[in-house]
Amino acid sequence: MKIAVTGAAGFIGSNLVKGLNARGIDDIIAVDDLTDGDKFRNLADLKIADYVDADDFYDLFAEGAFGQVEAVFHEGACSDTMELDGKFMMDNNYTLSCELFHACQDQGTRLLYASSAATYGGSDTFSESPEFERPLNVYGYSKLLFDQRLRRELGAKFENASTQVAGFRYFNVYGPREQHKGRMASVAFHQFKQFQTERRVKLFGEYGGYGAGGQMRDFVFIDDVVSVNLWFLDHPEKSGIFNLGTGRAQPFNDVAMAVVNTLRQSKNAALLTVEEAVLGGLIDYIDFPAALVGKYQSYTQADLSALREAGCQHTFADVQTGVSAYMQWLNGAKN
């Protein structure tokens, strides 16, 4: 089985390659832009058949240069929600994706692609339906427009696709292999770094009607994201747009405490409550940044109805379980 993974040296892409390798699949075309050369580390321990630069892959693929490719996991995108260059964002996330979609349909190749929960933006309902889609930034809009284009061409649930097309609206994903993402890395990753250097973690103070550290997100562990993607690889008859979160909203305070307590446990220190951590200076609440006012989702929670109706019954880790496993991995990588 020949598979292509775009954004293969990135966070989700490299974990998908790892998940495919675990199944014994290594006939993989890894597609990325290694201008940031350090991203090679995400591929160094993985098995692939070939690496193709992103500038070259899409035209070559459309020409059939790689022979029969069973599926493309399309994770390549600009995912910086603070990026203001709309032309750059639309070229990368919309136009390129449209070209890839048509090439996949022409060649009978399945397309499993990354959408985003940013498509919901200012909504308080997170169900895969147009009336709830209200992006707050051009990143969210670029992802939404591709979803809309596919609905227009394939039908509301992609029922007219000639071969599988499945889009996944990722919520707040965290886990190994995200170290290259800079400011766009997960809050868990940043808090690990903060605790290692400052012995404290930072959270936003009051905002959006939520108390300090009380803003709530659907935080989803990368292993769960990979499992759901591979479930769809196993079920080529399933197409559509699907939320990929846990279906559970948890406050940022929960993430902070999972970070703090896991790292304290590694030093045989006692577990703390949020209140004890704040009093002890281990949690530092900072003023909400002016640059994010009006552009920030204070609450997200994936509606998993469509995923469950498709037959995917995967059980997702909660924050305490997933972040604890991630902190142990980071501690091991550090040491």
- Which residue of the set 181, 202, 238, 295 is catalytic? 181
Instruction: Tell me the C-alpha distance between 111 and 102, whole Å.
Output: 10
* Annotation says 181 is catalytic: yes
Listed residue (140, 159, 147, 39) closest to 97, CA to CA: 147
Query: Within 13 Å, how many C-alpha atoms sit on residue 51's CB side?
Result: 14
What's at 310, amino acid-wise? A
Instruction: Tell me the C-alpha distance between 274 and 265, whole Å.
Output: 15
Are β-strands 250-251 and 216-217 bridged in parallel, bridged antiparallel, or unpaired? antiparallel
Listed residue (32, 5, 333) closest to 176, CA to CA: 333
| SS3 sequence of 24-67 | CCCCEEEEECCCCHHHHHHCCCCCCCEEEEHHHHHHHHHCCCCC
* Angle 182-183-189 from CA coordinates, rounded to 5°: 75
Instruction: Tell me the C-alpha distance between 244 and 224, whole Å.
Output: 9
User: Tokens 């039908």 identify what position?
Assistant: 155
* Annotation says 139 is catalytic: yes
Query: CA end-to-end span of the chain, whole Å?
Result: 37
- Which residue of the set 139, 170, 174, 296 is catalytic? 139
Indicate which residues carry an active-site annotation. Answer: 139, 181
